[in-house]
Chains A and B, each alone.
Chain A
Amino acid sequence: MSFPDPIAVFRTEAAELLEQIEAGLLDLNVNLGDKDQVDAVFRGLHTLKGSGAMFGFDALAAFTHHCETAFDRVRKGEVPATRELVTAVLEAKDHMRALVDTPNGDHEATGEALLANLRAAVDGANNPGTGVFAKAAPGQNHFKIRFSLPQNAMANGTNPLPLLDELRELGECEIVADRSAIPSLELLAPTDLYVSWEVELLTTQPRSAIDDVFIFVMDEMQLDVTTVEPAPAARTPAKTQAPAAETLPAAVPQVVAAAPAAQPAPAATALVDAKQKKASENVRVPAEKLDELMDRVGELVIAQSRLSQLAGGSGDLQLRAVSEDVERLSGELRDTMMVLRMVPVTQLFGRFRRLVHDLAHETGKTIELVTEGETTEVDKSVIERLADPLVHLVRNSCDHGLETPEERRAAGKPEAGHILLSARQQAGEVIITIKDDGRGINKERVRAKAESSGLIAPNANLTDQELYQLIFQPGFSTAQTVTNLSGRGVGMDVVKRTIDALRGTINVTSHVGKGSEISLAIPLTLAIIDGLLVRVGDGRYVIPLSAVEECLELPIEEDMRSRGRSFISLRDSLVPFLRLRDLFRTGTKPDPFQKVVVISTGSERVGLVVDQIIGDHQTVIKGMSKLHHDVATFSGATILGDGDVALILDVGHLVAEGQQQEAHLRAAG
C-alpha cells in the first residue's frame, strides 16, 4: 500500500485554502463588517502558513505570515477592514498561489511590492479619521439554533440556565424550551436533562460566539446552528428599477456585488454564507483513482456485453440468467459510478466571483453577479472543460454586454449591471446560462462584420439564431475598441470548439437594450453514453442516443427518387440527409431496407442514411489516437461485445455538414 505524496496533498489542500480565502475576501468586500469572514480568512491564512512551513514552502510561509498578521489585527479590532486591505490581500493571494506552484521561482520582487501594498492598506486603514469600520453598518447574523445538552449535564455540574443567559447576551434572542422528551414522573431520572432548546438569535457576533457559550459541553452535546439568509429585501430596489432584472428567476439567488474600489459600496446586498454549509461525512479520493475506477467499470460493461452476446447465442438457460444478473449489476454499478463522478458546479461558479470583481475593477463598471443552481451536479470532467468557455462568456458579458454606468443611467437602467450565471439539469443535460441585462447584440453590426470578413454572402437570408451563431466563428469580433480583456476575437470560437467537443450546443437569445442570454446545453456525463448501434456497409457505428430524434424507413424507390437532392420531407419540413455509405466510401450496395436516423443539435436536424439499425448500445467512449485526431466525423471509438471496434459519430459535425450541404443546394437552386 503506497501513501500519497505529502507535497501533493499539501498542494491540493493549499488550493482549497486559497479558494476559501478568496471567497471570504470577496464576501468581505461586500460586507466589511462581517466578522465571520474576517475569522474565516484569518483561519485560512493561518493554516496555509502552518502547513506551508511544515512541507518546506518557506517563502510561502513567510509571505503568508504578513497577510495573516494584517488579518489578525482586523480580527482583534485594531485595524478596520477596508476595501483597500481586501484588494491588497486578494492580490497577495494570487502570489501565494504562485509560491505554492513554483516555490523555487523568482518571486521576491513581486512579493515585496505586494507587501508594500498591504502595509499601505493597513496603515491607511489605521489612520484615525478614515473610520470606515465605525461607519460601516455592522452585519447582523441571524442564527437558528437547536441544541440538547448531554443527558448527565446537570449531574456533572452544568446548569443550563447560565448558558441560556449567555446566549441572550449575544443579541436579540428568543428561546423556546422543547419539553416533549420529559417522561412521566415515575420514569423520570430527576437529575437527567430531558429538555432541549430552540433558539433564534440576531447578533453581530460570529457563529463562533455560539460555540464559545457551549465550550465545556461541545463534544458531548448536539448543536445545530443554521444561518438564516437575510431577507430578499435587498434585491427589491434593483427589481423595481431595472425592467430587465425582472426576468431574473426569483429562486433564492446568491448575490455578489462587485464594485470598483473608487465607487461607494452598493446598498445592502444580500449575502449567503456558503461556508456555513453543513459538514457531512466525506472521504477524499484523488481524482485519478476515480478515473481509474471509471475505466474498470467501462471494461466491465464491455465484458458484460460480450457475456450477454454469448449467453444470448447459447441455449443454456442458467447462463442466460447469470448474464442477466451481471447485466443488471453492471448497469447499477455504472449508475453509482456516475453519481460518484458528479460534483456540484459550486466551485466552478465560485471562480467567477473573483473574475467579475476584477473585471468591475478594470472596466469601472458596477457589476452584480447572481449565481443560481450551484448545487447542480455535473460530471467532473465536464466541469473541468467548461471552465475556459465560461470565462470567455462571462468576460464577454462584462466587457461588451454591460454598458458603462453613464450609458446605463442614460438608458434609464440602474447603474449596476447584472450578470446571472445559472445551472440546471434537464433530461440528461445540464443547461448553463450566462445572462446579462446589458445592451444586447447589435444584429446589424454582426451582419456587417460577417459580410466584410466573408463569413456570409451580402444580404444572405439568415435567422436571428444563425446570425448570433456567427459570433462564435474564428476571428469574429464586433468590438470597436480592443480592451485588455476581450475584443481580440479570440475566445468565442474557442467556446464553440470546446462545447462541440463536449457534444453540447450553444443557444443565443438577445434583445437590443435589454441584454443577452447564452445557454450551453451539455451532456451530464462524458465517459459512457447510450448509443444507437447501426451498420453502414460492413462497418458498425454508434450514434449518441441523446441526439437521435427518430428513425424512418427509406424505401428503395424513395431513395432512387431523392438522388441528387438529398432532402426528405419530414412533417412538412425538408430535412437534409447524408448517405453514410457514400460519406464513408464503403463501396457496398445499399441494403434494400435502408433507414434514416434523424439526429439533431438544438434546432438543426439532419438525417443519416444507414443500412441497418442494430439496436441500443451502451457505449464506453475511448479516445481516438493522435493519428486520428483530425478526423472530424468521429468523436471517439468503442469496443463492441464481440471485441470489434465501432466508431462513434460526431453529431455536431455531421449536422453542420448537412446544413452546409443544404446551404450549397440552396445557393445553387
Chain B
Amino acid sequence: MPASEVKEDCFRLPQNLTVRAITNVQQEILQFLDKTASTTIELDDDCQVDISFIQLLEAARIYAGTAGKHIALARPASGPTLDVLKRSGFLEGMSAEDLKFWLHQGGIQ
C-alpha cells in the first residue's frame, strides 16, 4: 500500500513527513528520481513535517544535481513546511537558488 501515487512526473508525498516515517519517504523519492529526468514534489496542505524532511529534500536536491536531474516543489512551501523552515533557521541565509526551490522566489524559470 504505497502512500504516494505517481501521476506523470509529479510525486505526491504522504502526510507523515516526520522522522517516524522518513525512512520510507527516502526510499520512495530515490526510486522516483531514478525513474524520471524531472520531478515535481507535491506536498499535502496539512502534512506533518519536521527537520528530517527538510534535510531529506536538501539531500534530494544534491542527488538530483549530481545526477543531472531536475527537482522542484509543485507549489512554494507553505503551511507546516514553511513553518518548519522558519523555526529551524533554514530561511535565514538562503541563497538565490534555495529561495527559488523552496519559495519559488527570484528566478524567472
Assess whether B56 is interfacial by the CB under 8 Å rule: yes
Stretch at the interface among A71-79, A176-184, A601-609, A643-651: A176-184
Distance in angstroms between the alpha carbons of A182 and B62 in the assembled complex: 9
Q: With A161-B50, A164-B88, A176-B93 as given contacts, are A194 and B62 in contact (CB-CB < 8 Å)?
A: no
A197 at the A/B interface (Cβ < 8 Å)? yes
Which chain B residues (53-95) contact chain A, with CB distance < 8 Å? 54-56, 58-60, 62-63, 66, 84, 87-90, 92-93
A-B pairs with beta carbons under 8 Å apart, 21 shown: A154-B19, A154-B52, A155-B19, A160-B88, A164-B89, A175-B88, A176-B89, A177-B90, A177-B93, A179-B55, A185-B29, A185-B56, A185-B59, A186-B63, A187-B59, A188-B26, A190-B25, A191-B23, A191-B52, A193-B52, A197-B89
What residues of A have a CB within 8 angstroms of the CB of B47 in the complex?
none
Asked if B22 and A190 make an inter-chain contact with CB atoms under 8 angstroms apart, the answer reads yes
Interface bits B27-69 vs A (CB < 8 Å: 1, else 0)? 0011001000000000000000011101110111011001000
Cα(A165)–Cα(B83), bound, Å: 12
Closest CB in chain B relative to A475 CB, distance in Å: 69
Chain B binding surface, main DSSP class: helix
Q: Are B22 and A161 in contact (CB under 8 A)?
A: no
Evaluate contact between A190 and B62: CB separation under 8 angstroms.
no
Nearest-CB distance from B31 to chain A (Å)? 11
A254-271 at interface with B (beta carbon < 8 Å): none
Q: Lowest 7 A-B CB distances belong to which pairs?
A: A175-B89, A185-B63, A177-B89, A185-B59, A190-B22, A188-B59, A176-B92
Cβ of A159 within 8 Å of any chain B Cβ, yes or no, is: yes
A174 in contact with B19 (CB, 8 Å): no
> Does A184 lie within 8 Å of B66, measured CB to CB?
yes
A183 adjacent to B88 (CB under 8 Å) = no
Size of the chain B interface, CB-CB below 8 angstroms: 27
Q: Are the C-beta atoms of A179 and B92 separated by less than 8 Å?
A: no
In the docked arrangement, what's the CA distance between A175 and B90, Å?
8
Bound: A195/B89 CA distance, A: 10
Set of chain B residues within 8 Å of A177, measured between Cβ atoms: 88-90, 92-93
- Interface code B1-40, partner A: CB below 8 Å = 1, 0 otherwise? 0000000000000000001001101100110010000000
- Closest chain-A Cβ to B32's Cβ sits at a distance in Å of 11
Most chain B CB within 10 A, of A155, A175, A179, A185, is at A185
Extra pairs beyond A185-B56, A187-B59, A190-B26 (5, CB < 8 Å): A174-B92, A179-B58, A185-B33, A188-B59, A195-B88
Per-position 1/0 for A86-114, Cβ under 8 A of B: 00000000000000000000000000000
Q: Which residue of A lies closest to B67 (CB)?
A: A184
Per the bound structure, the CA–CA distance linking A185 and B58 in Å amounts to 8
Given contacts A177-B89, A197-B89, contact A190 B50 (CB under 8 A): no
